[in-house]
Structures are given as structure tokens and as C-alpha cells.
Structure 1
């Protein structure tokens, strides 16, 4: 793999999956999307791996979502959509081993496809969370659905509608429950691995059954909302040229909301 790094410790039963495009803030291109999908499906067959930690390389970002340089042709029908990010998460690939996300730096936009399919999130104090879709003339559909399962409605609505104008600090994310544990800078990965090691030490069948039960509580709502997403996006998105114009004129980083 070129865009994803995979390190498994058979002694602890924990594997670390690292998004490995730090020069692009771990933005997800088509190659990374394919590698992630293939990796999750392979991990299903490795019984020595009982828990996974998902993180991003470098200090600046967990992931900034889809790479703006990626061109994904779309069908003209609002009932069909080719979204490469729909297949990047563990649940989308039928993996029911627990996944703990470790976030350092920015996590925004398409990164929520991955955070939304993780069991819980550990972050350090440099982490920030935001969704710039509306600022650049795009509907935040799948991201909003996934985050609405993890955050109070008013919090996720504010994040999605404020777009690039406001970023949620790690402290605020912890206060509203998006982040389960807050660490010092650079310590999120170690903390996530410690949690994953504890989880991996329990009987695998019980752990995976619990993961499946937890997801069952969410998936019906997600499936119904996802069914609405393609035509909402088709109706609400600006043409590609309009999005590019807004993106090219993007302002400096928005204000940080700590409280």
C-alpha cells in the first residue's frame, strides 16, 4: 500500500492503521479509498488482530477529507452517485472488530466517514473538528448523518452550517461527547493503543458481538438518511466550477470555539 500504513502487533492483538499522506494533510484520494476498503476486508480474516487503532501521519491533520484534486465523474441522475468515501470505513466493509480513532490536528469533511464508523475517538489538545461543505457550496449529507449519531443535534447542526467559519476545539469536542478522552499533544495514539489493548484482551466473539449490537442501534437511521443523500447533494451542490471558485477564494482558518 502507498497511502495507508499497517502495523500489527500479534502479541497484543492490536493493529494500527495510519493514513499516510501527511504532505496532503492525509486527504483521501481514490488510491487511499481503495486501499482502506481492501485493508478492512483483509483484517476480517486475520484472527490475530482483535482491535484496530486508526490515525493519521504527521502533526497537522488526522485527515482533511477528500482530496480536492480528485475528479470523480458523477451520473446525471440524482438517484445515483459515485462517492469513493462511502467504502472507506470499517463498517462499510463488514468489519466488526472494534476501531478506536486517534486524532491529532485537523479532522474535517470526509474524515467524518472514518470517525463515524469508529467505536470512539481519542484526541490530543491540538485536534480541531469542522465541516467546510456549505462554505464551498456543497451539501453536507453523509457527514451530517454520521455526526448526528455522535453529537447533540444543535452541536452538529452548528458545526455543519457554520462551515469553514468555525472550528470546534478538542476541549469542546470532549465536552459534547464527540471525543471520549483528551490527551496532551502527541499522546493520542498511545492512549488509543492502550484502550485497544484492553479491548483486544477480552474474548473476540463477545467484543465483536457488542460492536455489532452497538452499530445495530444506529444503522437503521443511517440507512434511511443515506438513502436521501444522493438527490439532496444533486439538488443542493453548486456546479463544480462554482465550488472551485469559492474554494480558491477561501478565507483564513475560522474562529475556534472552545466552549
Structure 2
């Protein structure tokens, strides 16, 4: 049994890099890894020195090959309640946490992103893929639907018909196709993956962290609502910014033609 910690965390220049660390298992998501990743996100949310998070996989082969099937199959033997509690609920909690995290999370997809690994990429607000990446929705091959949100997020990103083709065939697809579907923001040479993700993080970190969080919240909450409800969410997020130092400083800096000095940046 591996003695590696299932998730590694490194913080540098205000960016926390979380690395899924089961390379001998292609970074498959077992219960310990999911719980460790959730625990790190809880810690980083309240760490004011961290402004952005990069999520990647250990080794050269995989971002994550998906859920740990050997462990999951044991939960299946417990019946619907046990399998749903141990596997589905845990995975959906993880992807929902990533999706709604108040600081930008950038998935740096360094290799295979199958099943749950693809679902983490779908949930992340931003994603960059290496040219070595490979994506798939292979759950149909196990006679099951995706369980970490893949039946819901991929159609919202790619459209119903394009998503269903991938969900119903289980066929793998290239990083360029992932880019065309809107699953990732960019495809870069493998050696440039982490530098590109860090560069994107720094471009975001130039701005007010309060405003960044406000935009993330407005988009995440509003995207699946009607336009009227979404506009109300946008209005609420703006109202929250009105009394802040950062909004006053942003306006003053623009008027005075200088760089803003935001709180906590």
C-alpha cells in the first residue's frame, strides 16, 4: 500500500498548487484523496495569503483516471444507500466545492482526465490542458452514468447533443476537442502547462480579490437560473462591493490614472 499523502500542497507567490498524488494509480480518486482535497480547500479558503489555486496531477501520465473502481466496487456491494453515500455524495460534494470556491481554481490537466478527472475539469472555473492530455467519459463502459456531476455539467458546457455523444459512447477525445467544447480555456505544450496556469493566475491576481470572488459567485450562482434571476444575483454581488475599500480604490485609481492599491493583494 502506498504511503504517499494523497494530495500535496505547495504555496508560492500567493498561488496554492494542489497535486493529486497517487501516480501509481494514475491519480485515481479514492475516498482518502477526495477527503484530503476537500480539507485542503477548506484551509485555503480562509488563508488570506492565497489568491488562486492550481489543481494538477502527479507524474507524467495522468491528471486523474477517475474514481478508484476497486474501492467503489466494494461500496456497490453494500447496495444503493451505501454506494450513494460513500461514492456519489462524496464526489458530488467535491466537484460542487471546486465549482463554487470563492477563489479562482485553475485545473492544469497534465495527462489522462477520465471519469472523475474529467468531472473535476468540468467543475473548475478555469482549465488549461497539456498537449499530452486525453479526456473521456467512460462510465458507460462500466454500465453506469457519471456520478460526480458529469451528466449535468458537460451538457451545460458543450451542449446536449455533443455531450451525449461522449457520455453514451465513452470514446476518448483530444485536448483540442476539449477546447472546442469549452471544457478548457487553452491547450499548451506540456512543458508550459504549469507556467501557463501560473501566468493565468497572476493575470487574475492583479485585480481586487473581493471583486474576483464576487464575479465567481455571480457566475456560479446565476448560470443555471433564468436571466432575470441571474441579473438579480449580479445586482446583489455589486451591492456587496459598494461599501468596500476596493471599489472606492478602483474608481479613484482610474480617475487619478494610477495603479490601484487593493486590500489584501
Asked if TM exceeds 0.5, the reply is yes
Which of 115, 125, 143 is the equivalent residue of 2:121? 115
Distance 2:54 2:180 in 1: 22
Matched with 1:53 is 54
Cα RMSD of the aligned pairs, angstroms, is 2.4
How many Å apart are 1:149 and its aligned residue? 2.3
Matched with 1:7 is 10
Aligned length: 217
Structure 1 stretches of 5 or more lacking a match? 222-259
Distance 1:153 1:7 in 2: 38
* Match status 1:183 vs 2:188: yes
How many Å apart are 1:117 and its aligned residue? 2.3
Structure 1 window deviating more from structure 2 (80-89 vs 96-105): it is 80-89
- 1:121-136, aligned counterparts within 5 Å? 121-136=127-142
Matched with 2:219 is 214
Matched with 1:203 is 208
- 1:91-106, aligned counterparts within 5 Å? 91=97, 95-106=101-112
Distance 1:218 1:93, change over 3 A: closer
Distance 1:81 1:36 in 2: 18
Matched with 1:159 is 166
SS in 1 for 2:40: helix
How many Å apart are 1:109 and its aligned residue? 0.6
1:3·1:21 contact (CA, 8 Å) conserved in 2? yes
- 1:61-100, aligned counterparts within 5 Å? 61-70=62-71, 71-72=74-75, 74=78, 76=80, 81-82=85-86, 83=88, 84-89=90-95, 91=97, 95-100=101-106
Distance 1:219 1:24 in 2: 35
Q: Which has the larger radius of gyration?
A: 2
Q: Report runs of 4+ in structure 1 exceeding 6 Å deviation.
A: none
1:111-156 Cα distance to aligned partner (Å, 9 max, x none): 1332122111101111111111111211235212121222122221
Q: TM-score, normalised by structure 1?
A: 0.77
1:41·1:93 contact (CA, 8 Å) conserved in 2? no
How many Å apart are 1:205 and its aligned residue? 0.3
2:104·2:126 contact (CA, 8 Å) conserved in 1? no
Matched with 2:144 is 138
Structure 2 stretches of 5 or more lacking a match? 227-265
Relative to its length, the structure with more helix (as a share) is: 2
